[in-house]
A and B are shown apart, each in its own frame.
Chain A
């Protein structure tokens, strides 16, 4: 496959995932801000910080839903806004039309302009349905890829892009929540903020799933365990890395040679497999998260190097 095609597949996967994750993030902020006793400013601040694309407004003293929605949903100059992600994913897809199936293209193309003319006020008024719409778009795209795309290198690159983005989003969310909520390391595990920890689950659409696994017992280590080490939850770091590893192995088999990124992903999977959450908290959760963010960035870089894009 053309290297350019692989690159576009990879980034299309990343952008669609980012649009989806950003929608979940805004949804979390929106839900949390509505809860009694919540600090609206703090909620939106952590949303802005976790998105990774609005450090300036995360620091701002005045911050409200409007400015966050403007920046994360509509801003054409923010490459990570939902609007930019959908537009970029479509541009990636359009540049490699032949590598996409008709179903995938229609899912990318349908309604891509609709955020173009919208102002923040209108968006805020229709926020729940816009976020729902975004999630539907990305789900439709994912579904179309699942049922129509050949399981060859193109599919592997697409999925790996999405998984890397997803692992990154989960890690960054944990990073922000860890810092913002538990500034003093000795209170880690103190269980002092039920709200804030459940918000992390909300942002990853994990609330119900968590219930099933941990029977409603919200603890910081339970939540960290779920989002980092649980291999069955599709937004966990462990799940993402296992899947990335599998696709890299498939690719290696298809091309008949092993690759550098395969090693990186393999090491990470081994590490996650042997880690216990208590150990992780003891040795420093934050350090682990920072390292994992770096590893993910490096993995993405090594993939593009290994496959010439």
Chain B
């Protein structure tokens, strides 16, 4: 198991020197006190996160751990190249499957995985999104399994959330421990909102003939990520709109304002595909703007991400991302995938069923850490139940080896303790590809747990990329 802070002889690794100094100078007791102060600040600012179906407090806090997770400059250089490469390939793939489907014709990806995929939208065939960009914000979930080994766990091409924590975690660390940042050793994450805005402006629709008006579309204040929606809209200085604020007239999209209708050019939407437009997709949806999709198709407005972008982050498609990189970019993948067995392939399925005890099994379309099996931690009963499910519907599942995720220090009950972490950077794709030096580190707060999802008791940390 790779410990991010300590090497095998318990000496502190290079990137963590500053953090180690700080911990020993401040002492664990003081840090614990500061941790509860941090929580009070989060509550006061109102950064909360609701979890569907859990009941209880609708405005819950995600636990924040004070001790930063650190990447050295050279580690980041490699990661950064790998993330950008992946984002380019995923967008190329999306353009391809909604046009000629070359990668399918070449026999690299089985057709049915794409065309029969729930996230594949036939309505998008032949549509040309500005700049051929489908996924404007790509969240790549990365784990570290050894010193120089980073592996991608999954891609998020729709509307990955969590970037507000990247910004707020840093904000709170700088507010509470300004001295840590004095020497300028940590790369700033401040530029994210302006880069996001620039990215969105770059994909203005063809019918836009002035400076584009960008808005952020939220389902509303009851949505679990509402805080993030409002936070980002605020930092970009754009309107935060709800579906009822928008309407279609004369082939264009407008918002209702105190001065009458105002034209909207680019919509950063945080609403799922099928809820965008009840005329095009879910007819019984109460959300959505009737007619929006046809305006999009005719170049009257840009939707970010494009409808149908989800087909690229499906767990069954994930397996083929390294092939996409080779096929579209002619490059060698910089970041590895985790070995994955697709239960829809008979040989893979056989292997999975025989080795359930050692594997992690996930639903192809699932997310958020729900409905998965972690073989080594499961009871015999749970394993058997899953075996039956896989047999009944093999194409619904994939399996991966139980990964030896790296650990990072947290401030626990007993002082400094090690917990498993992952990492999600946010790559922006417009005319250019941009990547803020940072991301969201999620940490499994339960001892030994490998599940970092906030819906399952995970927490977050500030993530430092050290300056060169």
Cα–Cα distance between A255 and B262 once the two chains are bound (Å): 13
Q: Shortest distance in angstroms between B4's beta carbon and chain A's nearest beta carbon?
A: 33
Cα–Cα distance between A96 and B46 once the two chains are bound (Å): 13
Q: Is B221 an interface residue (CB 8 A)?
A: yes
Q: Which residues of A contact B316 (CB under 8 A)?
A: none
Q: Is B326 an interface residue (CB 8 A)?
A: no
Q: Which residues of B contact A67 (CB under 8 A)?
A: none
Most buried by B among A4, A110, A255: A4
Q: Please, what's the 1-or-0 string for A270-300, where 1 marks a CB less than 8 Å from any CB in chain B?
A: 0000000000000000000000000000000
Cα–Cα distance between A110 and B226 once the two chains are bound (Å): 18
Contact partner of B256 (CB less than 8 A), chosen from A2, A95, A98, A153, is A2
Q: Which residues of A contact B257 (CB under 8 A)?
A: 1-3, 308
Task: Of the listed stretches B188-196, B228-236, B347-355, name the one at the interface; the rest are far from the partner chain.
Answer: B228-236
Q: Which residue of chain B lies nearest to A7 when distances are taken between CB atoms in the complex?
A: B258
Q: Is A221 an interface residue (CB 8 A)?
A: no
Contact partner of A106 (CB less than 8 A), chosen from B44, B227, B260, is B44
Q: Which residues of A contact B46 (CB under 8 A)?
A: 94, 97, 105-106, 109
Q: Is B244 an interface residue (CB 8 A)?
A: yes
Cα–Cα distance between A308 and B234 once the two chains are bound (Å): 23
B213-245 residues with Cβ-Cβ distance < 8 A to A are: 220-221, 226-227, 230-231, 233-234, 239-242, 244-245
Q: Is A307 an interface residue (CB 8 A)?
A: yes
Cα–Cα distance between A105 and B226 once the two chains are bound (Å): 14
Across the interface, do B230 and A110 meet the contact criterion of CB distance under 8 Å?
no
Cα–Cα distance between A91 and B255 once the two chains are bound (Å): 22
Q: Please, what's the 1-or-0 string for A52-71, where 1 marks a CB less than 8 Å from any CB in chain B?
A: 00000000000000000000
Contact partner of A94 (CB less than 8 A), chosen from B45, B221, B241, is B221
Across the interface, do B242 and A4 meet the contact criterion of CB distance under 8 Å?
yes
Contact partner of B258 (CB less than 8 A), chosen from A95, A97, A98, A153, is A153
A1-45 residues with Cβ-Cβ distance < 8 A to B are: 1-6
Q: Is B149 an interface residue (CB 8 A)?
A: no
Contact partner of A95 (CB less than 8 A), chosen from B44, B221, B234, B255, is B221
Q: Which residue of chain B lies nearest to A94 when distances are taken between CB atoms in the complex?
A: B221
Q: Is B105 an interface residue (CB 8 A)?
A: no
Q: Please, what's the 1-or-0 string for A93-129, where 1 marks a CB less than 8 Å from any CB in chain B?
A: 0111110001001100110000000000000000000
Q: Shortest distance in angstroms between B262's beta carbon and chain A's nearest beta carbon?
A: 9
Across the interface, do A4 and B234 meet the contact criterion of CB distance under 8 Å?
no
Q: Is B175 an interface residue (CB 8 A)?
A: no
- Range class of the A interface residue count: 20 to 34
Q: Which residues of A contact B240 (CB under 8 A)?
A: 96-98
Most buried by A among B226, B227, B256: B256
Cα–Cα distance between A268 and B220 once the two chains are bound (Å): 39
Across the interface, do A3 and B256 meet the contact criterion of CB distance under 8 Å?
yes
Across the interface, do B259 and A255 meet the contact criterion of CB distance under 8 Å?
yes
Q: Shortest distance in angstroms between A111's beta carbon and chain B's nearest beta carbon?
A: 9
Cα–Cα distance between A1 and B238 once the two chains are bound (Å): 10
Across the interface, do A98 and B44 meet the contact criterion of CB distance under 8 Å?
no
Q: Please, what's the 1-or-0 string for B109-123, where 1 marks a CB less than 8 Å from any CB in chain A?
A: 000000000000000
Q: Shortest distance in angstroms between B368's beta carbon and chain A's nearest beta carbon?
A: 24
Across the interface, do B230 and A98 meet the contact criterion of CB distance under 8 Å?
yes
Across the interface, do B221 and A98 meet the contact criterion of CB distance under 8 Å?
no
Cα–Cα distance between A157 and B257 once the two chains are bound (Å): 13
Q: Which residues of B contact A91 (CB under 8 A)?
A: 221
Cα–Cα distance between A91 and B226 once the two chains are bound (Å): 12
Cα–Cα distance between A97 and B234 once the two chains are bound (Å): 8
Cα–Cα distance between A309 and B256 once the two chains are bound (Å): 9
Cα–Cα distance between A110 and B227 once the two chains are bound (Å): 16
Q: Which residue of chain A lies nearest to B231 when distances are taken between CB atoms in the complex?
A: A97
Q: Given A109-B46, A307-B258, decide whether A95 and B244 contact each other with a Cβ distance below 8 A.
A: no
Cα–Cα distance between A5 and B256 once the two chains are bound (Å): 10
Q: Which residues of B contact A105 (CB under 8 A)?
A: 45-46
Contact partner of A4 (CB less than 8 A), chosen from B231, B256, B259, is B256
Q: Shortest distance in angstroms between B245's beta carbon and chain A's nearest beta carbon?
A: 5
Q: Given A2-B255, A2-B257, A3-B257, decide whether A98 and B244 contact each other with a Cβ distance below 8 A.
A: no
Q: Which residues of A contact B233 (CB under 8 A)?
A: 97-98
Q: Shortest distance in angstroms between B194's beta carbon and chain A's nearest beta carbon?
A: 16
Q: Shortest distance in angstroms between A54's beta carbon and chain B's nearest beta carbon?
A: 29
Most buried by A among B220, B221, B242: B221
Across the interface, do B258 and A1 meet the contact criterion of CB distance under 8 Å?
yes
Q: Which residues of A contact B258 (CB under 8 A)?
A: 1-3, 6, 153, 157, 255, 307-309
Most buried by B among A4, A98, A110, A255: A98
Q: Shortest distance in angstroms between B411's beta carbon and chain A's nearest beta carbon?
A: 26
Across the interface, do B44 and A308 meet the contact criterion of CB distance under 8 Å?
no
Q: Which residue of chain A lies nearest to B215 when distances are taken between CB atoms in the complex?
A: A2
Across the interface, do A98 and B220 meet the contact criterion of CB distance under 8 Å?
no
Q: Which residue of chain B lies nearest to A307 when distances are taken between CB atoms in the complex?
A: B258
Across the interface, do B234 and A2 meet the contact criterion of CB distance under 8 Å?
no
Cα–Cα distance between A105 and B44 once the two chains are bound (Å): 9
Q: Shortest distance in angstroms between A253's beta carbon and chain B's nearest beta carbon?
A: 13
Across the interface, do B255 and A110 meet the contact criterion of CB distance under 8 Å?
no
Across the interface, do A95 and B245 meet the contact criterion of CB distance under 8 Å?
no
Cα–Cα distance between A309 and B233 once the two chains are bound (Å): 22
Q: Given A97-B234, A255-B258, decide whether A110 and B241 contact each other with a Cβ distance below 8 A.
A: no
Q: Which residues of A contact B239 (CB under 8 A)?
A: 2, 5, 98
Q: Shortest distance in angstroms between A261's beta carbon and chain B's nearest beta carbon?
A: 12
Cα–Cα distance between A160 and B46 once the two chains are bound (Å): 26
Most buried by A among B242, B257, B260: B257
Q: Which residue of chain B lies nearest to A102 when distances are taken between CB atoms in the complex?
A: B45
Q: Shortest distance in angstroms between B80's beta carbon and chain A's nearest beta carbon?
A: 30
Cα–Cα distance between A309 and B227 once the two chains are bound (Å): 24
Cα–Cα distance between A4 and B46 once the two chains are bound (Å): 21
Cα–Cα distance between A94 and B258 once the two chains are bound (Å): 20
Cα–Cα distance between A98 and B234 once the two chains are bound (Å): 5
Q: Which residues of A contact B255 (CB under 8 A)?
A: 2
Across the interface, do A110 and B44 meet the contact criterion of CB distance under 8 Å?
yes
Q: Which residue of chain B lies nearest to A109 when distances are taken between CB atoms in the complex?
A: B46
Cα–Cα distance between A252 and B233 once the two chains are bound (Å): 27
Q: Shortest distance in angstroms between A116's beta carbon and chain B's nearest beta carbon?
A: 12
Q: Which residue of chain A lies nearest to B57 when distances are taken between CB atoms in the complex?
A: A113
Q: Shortest distance in angstroms between B242's beta carbon and chain A's nearest beta carbon?
A: 7
Q: Which residue of chain B lies nearest to A255 when distances are taken between CB atoms in the complex?
A: B259
Given A2-B257, A91-B221, 9 other A-B residues pairs in contact with their CB atoms under 8 A: A1-B257, A2-B245, A2-B258, A4-B245, A4-B256, A94-B226, A97-B226, A97-B240, A106-B46
Could you show 12 A-B contacts with beta carbons less than 8 Å apart?
A2-B245, A2-B256, A3-B256, A6-B258, A97-B46, A97-B221, A97-B227, A98-B234, A106-B46, A153-B258, A255-B259, A307-B258
4 A-B pairs with the lowest CB-CB distances in the bound complex, closest first: A97-B230, A307-B258, A98-B234, A98-B233
Q: Which residues of A line the B interface, CB within 8 A?
A: 1-6, 91, 94-98, 102, 105-106, 109-110, 153, 157, 255, 307-309
